[in-house]
């Protein structure tokens, strides 16, 4: 089990990284990314702390903690510069907060995040086929979300990804202990979006490959 979109108390989550990591270690996770919400005001505060937590905790955990960030409600024109800054600060996973239908995300955010080269476009809402094709071209994972509200368009995202040949991920967008997905619930999220067993197996491989790439 891998999850590459979760939040700690460095943004709007509930747990310090140590407890966050321990909670999923007992669920037999292979890896988890902490990707707290950020914009230009707090990027440089959050990422070094998650990097430090990963360095301290990984030698003592069976689950790998990956430092990340979620660029959230960022004006599209700023996405490229902030993505580059996040990577320079040590973020191994950069998530773009996509155009979910349950928040007033600016139009154009999906495309800006994809053009900036994020690793994952989270809850991209009514993503267009053209945008899904851009994700496929760049190897960016489109998220099927386990979080209430964001999950409303999972079926549409899966359909666009299938038509475009884009790769998918399943993430919890966890903010607290009750949000972490078990392996079975992650599979239910995929099935609810219309994925076959074979397609979900490919989703798991997509996430394993991304973890291997950023851990190298």
Could you say which DSSP state residue 14 is in?
A: S
Domain residue extents for the chain: 2-215
Using CA atoms, how far apart are residues 161 and 73, in angstroms rounded to an integer? 23
Using CA atoms, how far apart are residues 16 and 190, in angstroms rounded to an integer? 29
The answer to whether the CB of 97 falls within 8 A of the CB of 146 is no
Per-residue pLDDT tens listing for the chain (216 residues): 999 999 999 999 999 999 999 999 999 999 999 999 999 999 999 999 999 999 999 999 999 999 999 999 999 999 999 999 999 999 999 999 999 999 999 999 999 999 999 999 999 999 999 999 999 999 999 999 999 999 999 999 999 999 999 999 999 999 999 999 999 999 999 999 999 999 999 999 999 999 999 987
User: Looking at residue 132, what is its pLDDT?
Assistant: 98
User: Looking at residue 191, what is its pLDDT?
Assistant: 97
The answer to whether the CB of 43 falls within 8 A of the CB of 69 is yes
Tokens of 205: 């491989």
Tokens of 210: 């991304």
b/e sequence 6-45, b meaning 16+ C-beta within 10 Å? bbbebbebebebeebbebbbeeebebbbbbbbbeeeebee
What CATH code would you report for 2-215? 3.20.20.140
Using CA atoms, how far apart are residues 65 and 51, in angstroms rounded to an integer? 9
Tokens of 166: 């884009």
The answer, as to whether pTM is greater than 0.75, is yes
């Amino acid at each position: 089990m891998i999850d590459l979109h979760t939040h700690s108390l460095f943004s709007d989550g509930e747990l310090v990284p140590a407890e966050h990591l321990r909670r999923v270690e007992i669920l037999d996770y292979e890896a988890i990314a902490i990707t707290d919400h950020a914009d230009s005001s707090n990027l440089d505060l959050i990422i070094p702390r998650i990097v430090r937590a990963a360095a301290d905790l990984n030698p003592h955990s069976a689950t790998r903690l990956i430092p990340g960030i979620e660029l959230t409600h960022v004006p599209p024109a700023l996405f490229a510069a902030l993505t580059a800054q996040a990577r320079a600060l040590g973020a191994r996973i950069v998530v773009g907060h996509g155009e979910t239908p349950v928040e007033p995300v600016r139009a154009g955010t999906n495309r800006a995040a994809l053009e900036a080269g994020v690793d994952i476009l989270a809850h991209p809402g009514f993503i267009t086929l053209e945008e899904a094709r851009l994700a496929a071209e760049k190897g960016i994972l489109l998220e099927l979300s386990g979080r209430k509200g964001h999950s409303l368009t999972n079926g549409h995202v899966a359909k666009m990804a299938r038509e475009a040949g884009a790769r998918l991920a399943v993430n919890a967008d966890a903010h607290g202990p009750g949000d972490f997905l078990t392996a079975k619930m992650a599979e239910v999220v995929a099935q609810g979006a219309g994925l076959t067993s074979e397609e979900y197996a490919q989703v798991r491989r997509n996430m394993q490959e991304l973890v291997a790439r950023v851990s190298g």
